[in-house]
Amino acid sequence: MLRLTTWRWVPSFARGLVRDVRVRWALEELGLPYETRLIAHGDADFGGYFSQQPFGQVPVLEDGDLVLFESGAIVLHLAGKGTALMPEDPADRARVMTGVLAALNTVETAIVPLVEIDLFYADQPWAEQRRPDAEAQARKRLAELSSWIGGRDYLLGAFSAADLMMASVLRPLQHSGLVEADPNLCRYRDRCLSRPAFERALADHYADLDGTGPSQGR
């Protein structure tokens, strides 16, 4: 049995962007049923939550007795269960792992400083001075990513966990227009995000946040 833990409420800027969406997307691509456990920072049991997640973040995925965190580790763990997100060949699996890590540690890390300035720090005196360099760093990485994609549909042959993670880390840039400014990159992102599994994942994320979704069983 798989159980996903995530927030029952988030501020409006975070709606749709919590990292449970990535894990839900992987679960949907693999056709794996799961329960959700919804928690709040103020829950009486939140202290206990740190025994599962030492940094107090979401999501956590319980796979039987195995308690996993870090959306990257969870997506790689789930991807290993089938071939929908990773080919069978061990060398191809290593390539997919490289793509997932590139999304999280090279692309997302170049995007987050810009997103944080725009979403969290816009009123700080330093933000205006810092922003041009943060935007330049993000643009540089996006240009390199677009070159890597080249004329292909996906990063590594068929759609894989690498594309799931790469399209996911691009999502918080929507307000900036940076992805839209590169038609090749924009087509790639939209190709990934138009998958029915992503649409179901996002709908379930909102349903749980709005209290209209099933909190158990699906």
* 96 backbone dihedrals φ, ψ, rounded to 5°: -65, -40
* 89 backbone dihedrals φ, ψ, rounded to 5°: -60, 130
Neighbours of 159 (CB within 10 A): 19
Q: Could you say whether residue 113 binds its own copies (CB under 8 A)?
A: yes
Closer to its own copies by CB, 60 or 192: give it.
60
Q: Could you say whether residue 126 binds its own copies (CB under 8 A)?
A: yes
Interface pick for its own copies out of 8, 130, 191, 195 (rule CB under 8 A): 130
Q: Could you say whether residue 105 binds its own copies (CB under 8 A)?
A: yes
Question: Which of these, 136, 166, 161, lies nearest to 149 by C-alpha position?
Answer: 166
In the numeric block, the tokens 């979704």 are attached to 213
Alpha helices in the chain (DSSP H): 20-30, 46-49, 71-79, 90-102, 108-119, 127-149, 161-170, 183-193, 196-209
Closer to its own copies by CB, 34 or 69: give it.
69
Q: Could you say whether residue 97 binds its own copies (CB under 8 A)?
A: yes
Which window, 4-12, 33-41, 48-56, 205-213, contacts its own copies (CB under 8 A)?
48-56
* Edge-to-edge strands, sheet with 66-69: 35-39, 2-7, 60-63, 66-69
Site residues for its own copies, window 56-75 (CB under 8 A)? 56-57, 63, 65-66, 68-70, 72-74
Q: Could you say whether residue 1 binds its own copies (CB under 8 A)?
A: no
Closer to its own copies by CB, 94 or 203: give it.
94
Closer to its own copies by CB, 105 or 215: give it.
105
The alpha carbon of 86 is separated from its chain's Cα centroid by a whole number of angstroms, namely 17
Which residues lie near its own copies (CB under 8 A)? Answer: 50, 54-57, 63, 65-66, 68-70, 72-74, 76-77, 91, 94-95, 97-98, 100-102, 104-106, 108-109, 112-113, 124-127, 129-130, 141, 144-145, 147-148
